[in-house]
């Protein structure tokens, strides 16, 4: 019949706030325990707290133009303005490649440690020694290497290995490999300055400048994964920049302030060097091109001068006549013009091919090296070179699909198209000029052919040498100018406020706040537990619950049985429990009078399930009737699970079952009890067909015969929620009591009897609340009474055998406030 106890909407109670609050208060011991644990945990965490610090530096992105860039300079380098430089610098500072350079320069993948109270602490430069590793050799990583100084110039190296292999890293190639190592603790002694050559470590230990290590002191060296260190510093560095401002605020968080200072300053130094290198790249390309040309011309000059001297010696011609000298000067002039034009045409041809076939334009030499003076070409070549260098740098730090690349590519493509048009138009003009020079040369060559053959050859050789010498001098001059420009260039990075170990911001939180969190965490656990249990709780915990769940009247409230048997009214007639049964008896008698029941009164006591105190109530209700001087019989009709015989120390071998099957007479099954006026009929042997026996004619005869003998008949029946026997006995009784037990009966169990009561299938039924405990953790410790009550009052204690009730703190506080 379990389906009959399913929750119905009508009986589903809402969330009980009061019950939740009292339940939560009942867990105060758990709260105190959790609070103690939380305070202890926070205290231990606080004393182990290692504070971090934040320091910063300020730099300004400037547009420092070289003062040597004048209109008279034959080498022209146009750098543009500050536009987009700030964002480029921010991207560079956040790039992995930039931090790799800084970590590598500072060797921050290597840490010096000292054992502290709770952990190994990074002491950085405070270590009295330095380990100079062989970077070409892989070093042990992620495992501290212990250094103990034994003498002034000797130390012991110790490493604990947990496996047969260990990870090592080469800090040049950054490759991580594994080497075989001895399992356990490895120890070996070395002298200061003595090379350490181990399979997992190679280098030398030397004392730091002006430092000594005390004997017996212990330190640690630890190499870490290079990429991990780089990622850590990259994540802990922050860059802020106000919009339209050229100022960058660079901050870093670390546990060692000296490391912050060195790292920030090196970050700026590397950025400045890279920016200056990028800024000088155009000049560097020009110097490289000039050096190549100088080397080539120098070879030509050497060959020309040797050929000229050999010819003079061989033909003994050392001096030209005046006509030959004049003619040679004119020819040299036109040869220089022709050479200059050809040089420009060659440059344009190479530049055009470079623009059409290359995706990178960072290696374009300065146009002015080839004698190009066109302002548009000078400016555009400089701009395309600048954009290409910027794009090249960003490729190492920004994803290729970033919008900045699209913008750069668009600008480069536009400049390339403009340059191609400029090259085409300028080349056409140069070709016309070249044709004019060739015409003048032809006229002079006709005059030149009139000279003697030996003089012609000498003039030709001398002219070639003169041209090479002039070209050589031009390139030397341009190289000197480029070197001056490069040397005078300054970075666009201006340090406004250098990082310094002053005023470091401590990032440690207010540790006392943790105690507040511990308090609320300890408070939250009982509250959550109370909420969940209250929400899921389906038990009945107070008489108030019954009033909310059922419209059946509550006849009385019975406290907990203090004895080891059910004869509490008989053994403790002045107890509070006995008084509660007397109150129920009075209410029943009033009920009987209102219903005009004359003669013998019959009472059936049942419950939902076994264990709710049905037999306890049956015995004590029969006892209070008997003690009032009324002849009473207690009839045990729970034929399936008989109980009442045990409390009266009576055997269960002869009872109702024997009478119903005609085996025994009524007088034979009635047994006397120690209680005056109370007789007992036990159930007897368990039959195979209890329901059929209770429905038979013998049952009617039994009740009729008992009514002739007794004033009160009390029927102890099976649980109504488990079997239908109790329902079949309703026709024999005047009133019924349905027992509900505190903290035991489920709320859903009342649905069945409620439905029967609403449909009027059950009449004359009342509820009794059993097992009431005013000190229960749900907090319903108030005097519950409607005239039938438990007798809770200050005066009531004097009437009960238990004496004065103990009053808890809660009741004292409540009474104190109630007096006010």
Greater confidence (434 vs 456) lies with: 434
Q: Please, which pLDDT band fits residue 99 given cuts at 50, 70 and 90? A: very high
DSSP annotation of 731: G
Q: Is the pLDDT of residue 707 over 80?
A: yes
Query: Which of 327-341, 451-465, 588-602, 609-623 bottoms out in mean pLDDT, i.e. has the lowest?
Result: 451-465
Closest CA to 712 of 556, 584, 610: 584
Tell me which residue range forms the domain holding 618: 540-787
User: Is residue 524 pLDDT above 90, yes or no?
Assistant: yes
Same-domain check for residues 343 and 387: yes
The DSSP H or E segment spanning 113 is strand 110-115
| Mean pLDDT calculated for residue range 674-680 | 92
| Pair 252, 297 in one domain | no
Residue 810 lies in a domain: no
Give the other-Cβ count within 10 Å of 783's Cβ: 12
Q: What does the block give as tokens for 473?
A: 């001098």
The H or E element containing residue 236 is helix 226-236
| DSSP H helix total and E strand total for the chain | 23, 25
Question: Is the same domain home to 173 and 322?
Answer: no
- Residue 427, domain member (yes or no): yes
Same domain, yes or no: 315 and 171: no
Instruction: Provide the pLDDT confidence category of residue 682 given band limits of 50, 70 and 90.
Output: very high
Query: Is the same domain home to 526 and 581?
Result: no
Residue 530: CB atoms within 10 A of its CB come to 23
Task: Name 719's bridge partners.
Answer: none
Q: Do both 71 and 155 map to the same domain? A: yes
Which position has the higher pLDDT, 220 or 450?
Answer: 220
Least confident of 15-24, 513-522, 649-658, 671-680: 15-24
| pLDDT score, position 76 | 45
Q: Are 236 and 254 in contact (CB under 8 A)?
A: yes
> Is 204 found in the same domain as 71?
yes
**Cβ burial 484-523 (10 Å sphere, 16+ → b, else e):** ebbeebebbbbeeeebeeeebeeeeeeeeebeeebbebbe
Rounded to an integer, the average pLDDT of 29-57 is 87
pLDDT digits (tens, 9 = 90+) for 604-661: 999 888 888 999 999 999 999 999 999 999 999 888 888 888 888 888 889 999 998 9
User: Which of 50-54, 545-549, 554-558 tops mean pLDDT?
Assistant: 554-558
pLDDT score of 813: 44
- The half-sphere exposure of 748 on its side-chain side, counting CA atoms within 13 A, is 12
CB atoms within 10 A of CB 56: 21
Contact 682, 642 (CB under 8 A): yes
Q: Which of 209-223, 303-317, 591-605 has the lowest mean pLDDT?
A: 303-317
Asked if 527 and 605 sit in the same domain, the reply is no
- Give percent of the chain with pLDDT exceeding 90: 31
Counting Cα atoms < 13 Å in the Cβ hemisphere of 227 gives 6
Of 95, 92, 74, residue with least CA distance to 84: 92
**Highest mean pLDDT, choosing among 77-81, 145-149, 487-491, 558-562:** 145-149
Complete edge-to-edge strand list for the sheet that includes strand 196-198: 129-133, 201-207, 196-198
Which one of 237, 272, 307 terminates a domain? Answer: 272
Please write the tens of the pLDDT for every residue from 208-260.
Answer: 988 888 888 999 999 999 999 999 999 999 998 887 778 889 999 988 889 99
In a domain, 502, yes or no: no
What is the spatial distance between Cα 538 and Cα 427, in angstroms, rounded to a whole number? 99
Residues 24 and 102 in one domain: no
Q: Classify residue 355: in a domain, yes or no.
A: yes
Q: How far apart are CA 231 and CA 489, in angstroms?
A: 33
Residue 11 or residue 97, greater confidence: 97
Which of 272, 290, 305 finishes a domain? 272
- For 328-336, the CB contacts below 8 A with 24+ separation are 328/459, 328/462, 328/463, 330/444, 331/441, 331/444, 331/445, 331/448, 331/459, 331/463, 332/463, 332/466, 332/467, 334/437, 334/440, 334/441, 334/444, 335/441, 335/463, 335/467, 336/467, 336/470
Percent of the chain with pLDDT over 70: 77
Based on the domain organization, do 79 and 178 belong to the same domain?
A: yes
Residues 490 and 467 in one domain: yes
Please give the full DSSP string across 612-678, using - where no structure is assigned. Answer: SSHHHHHHHHHHHHHHTT--EEEEE---SS--HHHHTT--SSSSHHHHHTTSS-HHHH-EE-SSTTE
Nearest residue to 335 (alpha-carbon basis) of 432, 437, 439: 437
User: Which of 205, 207, 201, 175 shows the shortest CA–CA distance to 190?
Assistant: 205
pLDDT score for 711: 93
DSSP lists the bridge partners of residue 145 as 221
Sign, Cα dihedral of 322, 326, 329, 334:
negative
Q: What pLDDT does 329 receive? A: 65
> For residue 657, what are its two tokens?
């079952």
Regarding predicted confidence, which is higher, 51 or 574?
A: 574
pLDDT confidence tier of residue 65, bands split at 50, 70 and 90: low
* Positive/negative CA dihedral, 365, 368, 372, 378: positive
- Please give the pLDDT value at position 31: 92
Q: Out of 438, 471, 495, pick the residue that ends a domain.
A: 495
- The Cα 815–Cα 79 span in angstroms is 90
Helix axes 257-315, 375-394, angle to 10 degrees: 140
Please check whether residue 712 lies inside any domain of the structure.
Answer: yes
In this predicted structure, what is the pLDDT of residue 314? Answer: 62
Contacts of 394 (CB under 8 A, 6+ apart): 88, 91, 92, 402, 404, 405, 408
Which two tokens mark 554? 């509550």
341 and 347 in contact (C-beta within 8 Å)? no
- Position 120 scores a pLDDT of 87
Q: Residue 364 has what DSSP assignment? A: P
Question: Does residue 801 belong to any structural domain of this protein?
Answer: no
Q: Tell me how crowded residue 694 is: count the other CB atoms within 10 A of its CB.
A: 23
Per-residue confidence band for 305, with pLDDT thresholds at 50, 70 and 90: low
**Residue 703 reports pLDDT greater than 50:** yes
Q: How confident is the model at residue 330 (pLDDT cuts 50, 70, 90)?
A: low
Residue-averaged pLDDT of the chain: 79
Enter the pTM of the model: 0.51
Distance separating alpha carbons of residues 128 and 147, to the nearest angstrom: 11
Q: Per-residue confidence at 490, pLDDT binned at 50, 70, 90?
A: low
For the chain, the domain total comes to 4
Q: 698: closest CA among 719, 735, 669?
A: 669
DSSP H or E run through 698: helix 697-709
Q: Which of 150, 154, 143 is nearest to 186 (CA)?
A: 143
DSSP state of 2: G
Beta-bridge partner residues of 133: 203
CA–CA separation, 53 and 164 (whole Å): 39
Helix (H, G, I), strand (E, B) or coil at 559: strand
Mean pLDDT across 411-438: 80
Q: How far is CA 186 from the centre of its chain?
A: 38
pLDDT of 715 higher than 70? yes
Q: Is residue 800's pLDDT more than 50?
A: no
Let me know: does 54 contact 236? Beta carbons within 8 Å: no
In this prediction, residues 306-314 reach a mean pLDDT of 61
Residue 324 pLDDT: 55
Q: For the CA atoms of the chain, what is the radius of gyration?
A: 55
216 and 311 in a single domain? The answer is no
Asked whether residue 123 is domain-assigned, the answer is yes
CA–chain centroid gap for 506, Å, is 23
Mean pLDDT is highest, among 302-306, 386-390, 540-544, 725-729, for 540-544
CA distance 341 to 430: 6
Does residue 806 lie in a domain region?
no
Strand partners, 520: none
- Read off the pLDDT band of 70 (50, 70, 90): very low
Distances (CA, A) of 812 to 18, 596, 774, 779: 20, 47, 14, 14
**Does the structure show a pLDDT above 50 at 817?**
no
Q: In this structure, what CATH number is given to the domain that contains residue 629? A: 3.40.50.300
Cα-flanking dihedrals φ and ψ of residue 165, to 5°? -130, 155
Residue 167: is its pLDDT beyond 90? yes
Most confident of the following: 228-232, 402-406, 586-590: 228-232
Burial of 66 (0-12, 13-18, 19+ CB in 10 A): middle
Burial of 276 (0-12, 13-18, 19+ CB in 10 A): middle
Please return the burial class of 682, using the count of CB atoms within 10 Å of its CB with bins 0-12, 13-18 and 19+: buried
Q: Is the pLDDT of residue 747 over 90?
A: no
**Phi, psi at residue 740, to the nearest 5°?**
-120, 130
Binned at pLDDT 50, 70 and 90, residue 145 comes out as very high
pLDDT grade, residue 782 (50/70/90)? Answer: very low
How far apart are alpha carbons 25 and 30 in whole angstroms? 10
Cα 37-42-46 angle, rounded to 5 deg: 155
């Amino acid at each position: 019949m379990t389906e009959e106890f399913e929750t119905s909407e009508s009986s589903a109670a809402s969330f009980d706030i009061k019950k939740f609050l009292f339940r939560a208060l009942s867990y105060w011991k758990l709260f105190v325990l959790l609070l103690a644990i939380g305070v202890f945990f926070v205290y231990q965490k606080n004393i182990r707290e290692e504070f971090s610090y934040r320091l910063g530096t300020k730099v300004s992105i400037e547009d420092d133009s070289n003062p040597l860039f004048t209109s008279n300079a034959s080498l022209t380098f146009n750098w543009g303005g500050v536009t987009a430089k700030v964002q480029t610098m921010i991207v560079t500072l956040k790039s992995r490649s930039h931090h790799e350079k800084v970590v590598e320069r500072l060797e921050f993948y290597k840490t010096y440690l000292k054992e502290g109270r709770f952990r190994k602490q990074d002491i950085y430069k405070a270590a009295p020694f330095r380990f100079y590793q062989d970077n070409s050799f892989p070093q042990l990583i992620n495992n501290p290497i212990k250094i103990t100084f034994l003498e002034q110039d000797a130390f012991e190296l110790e490493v604990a290995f947990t496996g047969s292999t260990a990870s090592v890293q080469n800090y040049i190639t950054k490759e991580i490999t594994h080497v075989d190592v001895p399992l356990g603790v490895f120890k070996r002694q070395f002298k200061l300055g003595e090379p350490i050559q181990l399979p997992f470590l190679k280098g030398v230990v030397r004392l730091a400048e002006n430092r000594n290590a005390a004997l017996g002191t212990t330190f640690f060296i630890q190499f870490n994964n290079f990429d991990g260190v780089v990622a850590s510093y990259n994540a802990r560095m922050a860059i802020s920049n106000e919009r339209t401002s050229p100022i960058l605020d660079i901050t870093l968080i670390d546990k060692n302030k000296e490391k912050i200072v060195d790292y920030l300053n090196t970050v700026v130094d590397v950025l400045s060097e890279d920016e200056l290198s990028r800024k000088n790249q155009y000049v560097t390309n020009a110097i490289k091109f000039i050096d190549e040309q100088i080397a080539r011309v120098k070879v030509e000059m050497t060959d020309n001068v040797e050929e000229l001297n050999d010819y003079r010696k061989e033909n003994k011609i050392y001096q030209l006549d005046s006509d030959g000298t004049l003619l040679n000067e004119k020819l040299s002039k036109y040869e220089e013009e022709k050479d200059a034009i050809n040089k420009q045409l060659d440059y344009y041809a190479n530049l055009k091919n470079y623009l059409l076939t290359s995706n990178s334009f960072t290696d374009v030499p300065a146009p002015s090296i080839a004698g190009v003076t066109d302002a548009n070409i000078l400016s555009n070549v400089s701009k395309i070179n600048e954009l290409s260098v910027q794009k090249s740098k960003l490729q190492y730090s920004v994803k290729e699909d970033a919008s900045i690349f699209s913008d750069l590519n668009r600008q480069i493509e536009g400049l390339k198209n403009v340059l191609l048009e400029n090259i085409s138009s300028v080349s056409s003009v140069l070709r016309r000029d070249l044709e004019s020079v060739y015409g003048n040369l032809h006229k002079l060559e006709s005059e030149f052919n009139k000279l003697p053959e030996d003089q012609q050859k000498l003039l030709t050789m001398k002219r070639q040498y003169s041209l090479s010498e002039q070209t050589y001098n031009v390139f030397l001059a341009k190289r000197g100018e480029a070197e001056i420009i490069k040397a005078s260039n300054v970075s666009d990075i201006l340090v406004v406020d250098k990082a310094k170990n002053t005023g470091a911001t401590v990032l440690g939180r207010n540790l006392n706040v943790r105690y507040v969190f511990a308090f609320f965490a300890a408070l939250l656990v009982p509250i959550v537990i109370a909420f969940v249990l209250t929400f899921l709780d389906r038990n009945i915990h107070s008489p108030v619950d019954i009033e909310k769940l059922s419209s059946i009247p509550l006849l009385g409230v019975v406290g907990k049985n203090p004895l080891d048997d059910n004869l509490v009214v008989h053994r403790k007639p002045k107890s509070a429990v006995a008084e509660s049964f007397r109150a129920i008896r009075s209410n029943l008698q009033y009920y009987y009078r209102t219903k005009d029941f004359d003669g013998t009164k019959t009472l059936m006591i049942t419950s939902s399930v076994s264990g709710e105190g049905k037999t306890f109530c049956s015995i004590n209700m029969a006892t209070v009737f008997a003690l009032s001087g009324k002849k009473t019989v207690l009839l045990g009709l729970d034929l399936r699970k008989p109980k009442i015989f045990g409390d009266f120390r009576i055997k269960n071998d002869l009872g109702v079952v024997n009478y119903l099957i005609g085996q025994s007479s009524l007088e034979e099954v009635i047994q006397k009890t120690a209680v005056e006026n109370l007789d007992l009929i036990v159930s007897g042997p368990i039959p195979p067909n209890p329901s059929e026996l209770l429905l038979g004619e013998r049952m009617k005869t039994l009740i009729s015969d008992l009514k002739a003998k007794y004033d009160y008949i009390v029927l102890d029946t099976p649980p109504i929620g488990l079997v239908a026997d109790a329902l079949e006995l309703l026709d024999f009784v005047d009133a019924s009591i349905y027992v509900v037990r505190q903290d035991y009966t489920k709320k859903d169990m009342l649905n069945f009897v409620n439905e029967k009561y609403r449909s009027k299938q059950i009449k004359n039924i009342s509820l009794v609340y059993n097992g009431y405990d005013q000190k229960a953790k749900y907090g319903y410790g108030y005097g519950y009474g409607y005239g039938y009550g438990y007798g809770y009052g200050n005066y009531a204690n004097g009437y009960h055998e238990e004496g004065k009730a103990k009053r808890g703190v809660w009741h004292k506080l409540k009474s104190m406030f109630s007096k006010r």
